[in-house]
Amino acid sequence: MAERKLNITPVNDWGLFHLPPRPCVIAGPCSAETEEQMLETARGLRAFGINVFRAGIWKPRTHPGSFEGLGTAGLKLLKKVKEETGMHTCTEVAGAKHVYECLKYGVDLLWVGARTTANPFLMQEIADALQDTDIPVLVKNPVNPDIDLWIGALERLNRAGVTKLGVIHRGFSTSEPTLYRNDPGWRIAIELRTRYPEMPFFADPSHMAGDRKYIRELSQRAMDLGLEGLMIESHCSPSCALSDAKQQLTPAELKKLLEEEITVRDSQSDDASYKEGLNQLRAQIDVIDENLIGSFAARMKVSRDIGLYKREHNVAILQASRWDAILAKMKEEGRKYGLSDEFIVTVFNAIHEESVRSQNEILSDKA
């Protein structure tokens, strides 16, 4: 399908963030819980210059019976935070009713959660409710790694006239065992970035990580990829949080993270901008290399399964004709991308050798 242009207002013109330098930061608790929790957290964040405060009001929880947010009462708390601290406020909307409520209570920025982005019916409903408003909206990636679903959600909002539009990358659900709560899947973020370089781009290392100990490395990665902003969960007393207790930082921890633990390389001079460009490209290479390792591992697993299968059926490991066919096909495939035959042969011979070695191990294993 032909790619549609999106009409985007630069984040500098949203009037919400202190700019520059990067990152634009949105911080605040996973959920609004009490007035004390909201005000204490907001004051702690405000004290070191954070001026966009987040708090979930309607919480999409996996199991019924978990804390599902304060609803409209939470909007009153957001309003109070705004009045008492002067911070801008933002919350998640998952339908038209949420949008109307937020507009009524003067929320400054909305975000669409990952479960909602995945649902075109709800996205259209939200887009319709936002017609003729000027409120900025950030759209999280859908829970599943489907870039078109993400783009479709952005198109719906943009068609409804939302131009203060940006994205939040929060990683993808996966059934694979991973270090993090959600698979970062940076490849998809890079692709979206490449297609829409003008789109304000945030990362949400909190929901990606699922554990506060990984927030630093994920924030650094987001900065190295050149993203504009970070949304990070912060709670005055994280261990007592009613949702996402493991992944929230205290305001003091967040201050340390931003001021001491992550390095944000910004382009001041030509030389610095060269370095920044290089860092972004290297960060992309790092992601691709990690993906390569994942693909090698997946291939080796299947190869071992074939070894077991052959053993069961008493068949020899090496089948030269099959290998010749693979190599010919890969050379042909490589040529389409300008990859030399020599390169393909070197890489695939190394892969083949390792496969044969591991299949031989299986065959010699009498167990």
Interaction site with ligand PEP (CB under 6 A): 30, 56, 60, 92, 113-114, 140, 170, 204, 207
DSSP assignment of 96-144: HHHHHHHHHTT--EEEE-HHHHT-HHHHHHHHHHHTT----EEEEPPSS
- Is the Cβ–Cβ distance between 91 and 57 less than 8 Å? yes
Match 């960060």 to its residue by tokens. 283
**Residue with the CB atom nearest ligand PEP in the bound state:** 113
Give the shortest CB-243-to-Mn ion separation in angstroms: 6
Closest CA to 264 of 8, 30, 27, 19: 19
CB of 321 to ligand PEP, least distance (A): 49
Q: Which is nearer to ligand PEP, 92 or 224 (CB)?
A: 92
Cα distances (Å, whole numbers) of residue 289 to 186, 187, 259, 333 = 12, 11, 29, 20
Q: Does residue 30 bind Mn ion (CB under 5 A)? A: yes
Task: Give yes or no for residue 125 binding Mn ion (CB under 5 A).
Answer: no
In whole angstroms, the minimum distance from the beta carbon of 248 to ligand PEP comes to: 10
Tell the smallest beta-carbon distance from residue 259 to ligand PEP (Å).
Answer: 23
Nearest alpha carbon to residue 96 among 74, 71, 124, 70? 124
Q: How far is the CB of 30 from Mn ion (least distance, A)?
A: 3
Minimum CB separation from ligand PEP for residue 56, in Å? 4
**33 Cβ neighbours under 8 A, 6+ residues apart:** 67, 70, 241, 242
Site stretch for Mn ion (CB under 5 A), options 70-78, 137-145, 177-185, 236-244: 236-244
Residue number, 92 or 125, with CB nearest to ligand PEP? 92
Q: Is 244 in the site for Mn ion (CB under 5 A)?
A: yes
Structure-token pair, residue 232: 């990070």
Residue 228, contacted partner among ligand PEP, Mn ion, none, CB below 5-8 A by kind: none
Q: Which two tokens stand for residue 351?
A: 């892969």
162 has which bridge partners?
none
From Mn ion, ligand PEP, none, interface partner of 164 (C-beta below 5 to 8 A by class):
none
**Is the CB of 102 or the CB of 362 nearer to ligand PEP?**
102
Q: Which residues bind Mn ion (CB under 5 A)?
A: 30, 244
